């Protein structure tokens, strides 16, 4: 199938909330990691989300070029072509974009999609994230209000972060403290600024102790019950059940019961990056260690081309990442739910 249309993407999110499952959103940085993500979703029988961060986009443009828009457009165009070979729906998303990178990343990509829509085409990306966690909530929502007008016009879904995710990702670092927990008042302020769909559809990353990066299960205090508290309070105020489409950030190392509870409370998208990075790299390490005398030209020998051919260890890396995507789909209950 081709990349999901705006209508199909909306249906994906609606089905996830109604069916109490969520889609893994897999960060990719290259054509190979993108292929691996597509393979994993297909093997799981799940639709899914592939996303590109500012750092991932820079890398994809060329390690010395570092042009975020070039890298994001290149990967998106590649995805639009190769996704046709899979019987699943894939939405393209841009991950964390802080204030100082909006003009160099999200806004130019929005302009491209706006031009496409004006020509009668679908947008290049299906959703974009504005990461306002580093600025005061009032400023965060002011910028979000400006962006939602643009995303709605381009038939794109906006993702906002209300609260703070601890740890570090792509140069965005936050301390691990009480600011990691979004409040009901924060959520109500979000509705005041963005509405509940009438101004444009958006997803909300409410934080409940989330931390980016690597940590062992139990080392971070996640409180998914906060999501229920907020959904119930806002839902009661506006007469809607689970009014927010929620996003789970910083989920690496989360316990299965924490993931399950978050999904029950309205999470429809969960970002997966740190775990898939390791899953992609681990088979390469094993290949190099097992075949070092073929990969390296030791003692003047010529090595073994069949061992250092990038396609050989690249296939192993792709398989490792794909398997981790399948695992994520199973944990989030999206396996076997693809839209036929």
Q: Are 316 and 284 in contact (CB under 8 A)?
A: yes
Which residue carries 């403290």 as its tokens?
177
Instruction: Give the relative orientation of helices 310-331 and 31-44 as an angle to the nearest 10 degrees.
Output: 40
CA torsion 256→208→48→2, rounded to 10°? 180
For the chain, the farthest-separated pair of C-alpha atoms sits apart, in whole angstroms, at 75
* 3-state DSSP assignment of residue 319: helix
Each residue of 142-160: b (16+ CB within 10 Å) or e?
Answer: ebbbebbebbbebbbbbbb
All residues at 6 or more sequence positions from 315 whose CB lies less than 8 Å from its CB, including other chains: none
Report CA dihedral (107, 24, 8, 51) to the nearest 10 degrees: 20
- Active-site hit among 14, 47, 87, 95: 95
Is 75 in a helix, a strand, or coil? Answer: helix
Nearest residue to 152 via CA among 77, 216, 202: 202
H/E run at residue 93: strand 90-94
Task: Report the DSSP beta bridge partners of residue 330.
Answer: none
Is 47 among the residues known to form the active site? no
Residue 302 contacts by C-beta under 8 Å, 6 or more apart in sequence?
A: none
Alpha helices, DSSP H, located in 241-273? 256-264
Active site residues: 95
């Amino acid at each position: 199938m081709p990349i999901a249309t705006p209508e199909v993407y909306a249906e994906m999110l609606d089905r996830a909330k109604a069916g109490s499952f969520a889609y893994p959103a897999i960060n990719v940085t290259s054509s190979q990691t993108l292929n691996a993500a597509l393979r994993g979703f297909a093997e799981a029988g799940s639709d899914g989300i592939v996303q590109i961060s500012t750092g991932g986009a820079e890398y994809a443009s060329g390690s010395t070029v570092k042009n975020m828009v070039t890298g994001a457009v290149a990967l998106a165009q590649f995805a639009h072509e190769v996704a046709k070979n899979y019987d699943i729906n894939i939405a393209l998303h841009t991950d964390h974009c802080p204030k100082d990178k909006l003009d160099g990343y999200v806004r130019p990509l929005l302009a491209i999609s706006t031009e496409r829509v004006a020509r009668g085409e679908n947008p290049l990306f299906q959703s974009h994230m504005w990461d306002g966690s580093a600025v005061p909530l009032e400023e965060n929502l002011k910028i979000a209000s400006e962006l939602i007008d643009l995303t709605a016009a381009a038939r794109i879904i906006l993702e906002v972060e209300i609260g703070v995710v601890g740890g570090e990702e792509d140069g965005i670092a936050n301390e691990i403290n009480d600011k990691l927990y979004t409040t009901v008042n924060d959520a109500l302020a979000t509705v005041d600024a963005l509405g509940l769909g009438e101004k444009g559809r958006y997803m909300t990353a409410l934080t409940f102790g989330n931390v980016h990066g690597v940590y062992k299960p139990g080392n971070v205090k996640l409180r998914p019950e906060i999501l229920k508290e907020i959904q119930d309070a806002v839902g009661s105020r506006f007469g809607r059940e689970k009014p927010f489409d929620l996003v789970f950030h910083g989920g690496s190392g989360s316990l299965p019961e924490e993931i399950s509870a978050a999904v029950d409370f309205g999470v429809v998208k969960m970002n997966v990056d740190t775990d898939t990075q390791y899953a992609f790299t681990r088979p390469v390490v094993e290949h190099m260690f097992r075949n070092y005398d073929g990969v390296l030209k030791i003692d003047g020998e010529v090595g073994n081309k069949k061992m250092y051919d990038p396609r050989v260890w690249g296939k192993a890396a792709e398989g490792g990442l794909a398997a981790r995507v399948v695992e994520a789909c199973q944990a989030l209950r999206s396996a076997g739910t693809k839209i036929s």
